[in-house]
Copies of this chain bind each other. A is one copy, B any other.
């Protein structure tokens, strides 16, 4: 058979002929903007030609520092299609970290939303800063106006870099993952399968996950491939506004971290969101409580499991077909991390408590220019250590037990911080809980729990310990429980355990 490189430009070129009239919708400052797919791809061609004129060549890095917008989508299309490398920057991390990441990646150009311009640090590698929206100097619209609508996307090898993304770095410096065209095309095919996201032309897709967060979980390319309508929410983040957008746009599929769905589930007057076929909760574990609450208000949720290093989807918590809807096993499967997608190989290394190892075309081979970290994470025989502790059942469903570094080793035995957190959160007066290990002279390590109570609750440590006595082994029950008003999160919405460990060190060494 013919052997043609798998390239992201193929999706754009096909969309121009078969989905030309499909719409893409973008919100900016509360205003709704609409373009066709044909216009969007023409703008991407113009943008690519202007970038080419600025000296950008295949392999060069082009950064973005922007919200989920039509312009950001144009960059998602233009930059990889011209052979350059798209590098979306996390807008929520510290200036110093942003500067580090830009320079480490060697970004030559950055596109920045005008309202984010103040937060973008100077960096040595940057030659051009392009403003999206009003601003001085080079701007996005001028590059498009000056560009060639007929710019041809080049044919490049399929293992060329298409994009890169840095992990949010809960430990150490951020680490970069470089996605190839081959990997991203295969990921797009895989994630659209019926038992994964099941995306189709009839879908209206709302990526609430930021476009700097692991390629917005692949949704821009997936939507383009199947011809679904994309709705890009800009900076919209209040639950009521998101719910209103879902209702107004008749969104069928949306993706966000659990916190967003939690906010929406708490709304007093939820608008009509019955257009939703499915929503994905990812980036942090979905709790049984939240899933049940979403079921009750008619938002069909599914857990997405992945990581920056796998492009990023690994699987979804879709119950095996043999399970009866509503059964305990079915519910447990929905709370699982699912089966790994086809073409991804899995090993569970029991010598380190059940660490998940991965291998496949959508799995990173190394971190970018990070030789020291690489030897820890990537084995010589072609596997990536994920740092996740999992179990696997007879249906192949993975269940995340913990992170290797978050396990608590007490008296030589492992305590899963995640299982303990779930047991604590099962109490009706607990909103959130996070468990970290603290050093202990006698036991080596002991768990310390940080707990956020529901409004008005007077729950005490002893009440909670009494509750836990029914839920976990006696030696798992934390001696130390700290009630806090909130738990710090990382820039992508995960519990910031690095910070909690610091807090635990500062705290008094008494149980309260």
Interface residues of A (CB under 8 A from B): 1-4, 6, 10-11, 13-14, 17-21, 159, 178-180, 182-183, 185-186, 189-190, 192-195, 198-202, 225-227, 311, 320-322, 339-340, 342-343, 345-346, 359-365, 382, 384, 392, 394-396
Contact = CB atoms under 8 A, between A and B. Distances in A.
Contact of A1 (B21, B189, B227, B364): B364
Contacts of A186: 189
Contact of A182 (B1, B200, B202): B1
Nearest to A4: B361
Given A1-B363, A1-B365, A3-B361, 20 more contacts: A1-B179, A1-B182, A1-B364, A2-B359, A2-B363, A3-B159, A6-B343, A6-B361, A11-B342, A14-B340, A14-B345, A14-B396, A17-B346, A20-B394, A189-B342, A192-B194, A194-B198, A200-B321, A201-B321, A225-B342
Contacts of A384: 2
Given A14-B342, A342-B14, A360-B4, A195 B189 contact: no
A88 B224 CA distance: 37
How many protomers of this protein does the assembly include?
Answer: 2
A230 to B, nearest CB: 14
Do most interface residues of chain A lie in helix, strand or loop, or is the interface mixed? loop
Contacts of A360: 2, 4
Nearest to A201: B321
A456 to B, nearest CB: 45
Given A194-B226, A199-B194, A362 B179 contact: no
Contacts of A395: 18, 21
A345 B10 CA distance: 8
Interface centre among A340, A359, A396 (most CB of B within 10 A): A396
Nearest to A197: B194
21 contacts: A1-B178, A1-B180, A1-B311, A2-B359, A2-B364, A3-B182, A3-B361, A4-B361, A6-B361, A10-B342, A14-B343, A14-B345, A17-B346, A18-B339, A21-B395, A193-B226, A194-B198, A194-B226, A195-B226, A195-B227, A201-B320
Interface centre among A192, A194, A227 (most CB of B within 10 A): A194
A21 B180 CA distance: 35
Contacts of A365: 1-3
